[in-house]
Amino acid sequence: MTNDDIIALADRYLFPTYARAPLALVRGEGARVWDADGRSYLDFFSSTVVTNLGHRHPALVQAITEQAQRILHVSNLHYCEPQARLAEKLVKRSFADRVFLCNSGAEANEAAIKLARKHGHAVGDGRYEIVTTFNSFHGRTLATIAATGQEKVRTGFEPVQQGFRYAPYDDAGAIEAALTPRTIAVMVEPIQGEGGIVAPAPEYFRDLRALCDRHDLLLIFDEIQTGMGRTGTLFAYEQCGITPDIMTLAKGLGGGVPIGAMLAAKPAAAAFDSGSHGSTFGGNALTCAAGLAVMETLESEGVLANCLAMGERLRAGLQQLAATHPIIEAVRGRGLLVGAVLREAGAAIVDRCRTNGLIINCTAGNVLRLTPPLTVSGAEVDEALAIIDRVLAA
């Protein structure tokens, strides 16, 4: 089938819930993908910040293949070796005591919300409200759109679920002012991805940790985008100088296979008991084998060091472009979660980059989001910068 054939078929039968680019991708390798007409592109979006190891990484392909030859799925009413091993690895590599495995970032955040509320009941005071931040993004389910601090995400789905309050990002004082006697938790992203690649001041998270300790609140880190090496450490909280009580993961955890995780430390972790929560496919044998391969590869092949080095190279290159292209107002981000802030809307530039063989994304209306695989090479970073240079000069 050609690009046009696939596009026509999808447009005929799928709900039009995505603003799709006119591109049907059929193959990938490393940081490069090919469309159905045989044209290649540099993927500097990592298919929505998912393919952290690049496309068709040998270790991931091998793990999936070997697991598929053994068993694909085990009911959560029985035990599953890859699930147990992945949970062990996540706990030993983090602050957490327990893990709940699911299928997506939204499901991981749902689990975190439920755990926080269950904890409020378990400690006997029934607190249930969660404070989140403006311009945050936490998912598309009814609870996670209510948690999301963007009104456009909630529009049309009213009445929105109660129990969420919003405060400005990077302002611990504003968070404290938003607290009520019903508040049980604060939920934040270490870097706001959909909000425009916004990183707060270094003291922000230390202040939040102190605030939560002072008011007996849970601190929830949504690391759906920042986790799994994207910022140069396995988890972004490792760079914040504090530990949260609950953390959510997805996207890069499976390297392209759908999996999410909610991690928690005691005492919050004790709130979930038998029957508290569940998921038919959560912790599936195949996806957990993929997650294990991703974690092992991230920490054994110099991927995190490469992420830091290539992130510096990419940001430095964008800064050089800003000197000759005034449309670039600022460059920000950490590791390979990079944003180029424009002085105008960025959608047309994204389209022109794609026409020139580079896939990127625009978030918050005017921020070019560049998130190549953590395995990207220096030559590929330079190639992407050259394409952006040509596009901005045109």
Annotated catalytic residues are 137, 222, 251
Do the beta carbons of residue 164 and residue 139 sit within 8 Å?
no
Task: Report CA torsion sign: 23, 27, 29, 30.
Answer: positive
For CA atoms 147, 175, 128, 220, give the dihedral sign: positive
Distance (Å, whole) CA 88 – CA 349: 44
CB-based contact 327:344 (threshold 8 Å): yes
Exposed/middle/buried for 17, CB within 10 Å: 0-12, 13-18, 19+?
exposed
**What is the spatial distance between Cα 250 and Cα 259, in angstroms, rounded to a whole number?**
6
Would the CA dihedral through 70, 73, 75, 81 be positive or negative?
Answer: positive
Whether residue 216 contacts residue 249, with contact meaning beta carbons closer than 8 Å, is answered with: no
Task: Identify which of 334, 342, 383 has the alpha carbon closest to the alpha carbon of residue 361.
Answer: 342
Residue 8 to residue 272: CA distance in whole angstroms = 46
**Is the separation of the CB atoms in 368 and 345 below 8 Å?**
no
Helix (H, G, I), strand (E, B) or coil at 80: coil
Neighbours of 262 (CB within 10 A): 29
Backbone angles phi, psi at 100, to 5 degrees: -115, 125
Q: Cα-Cα-Cα-Cα dihedral of 125, 126, 127, 128, to 10°?
A: 170
Rg (CA), the chain: 21
Can you tell me the distance from the alpha carbon of 115 to that of 213, in angstroms, rounded to the nearest whole number? 18
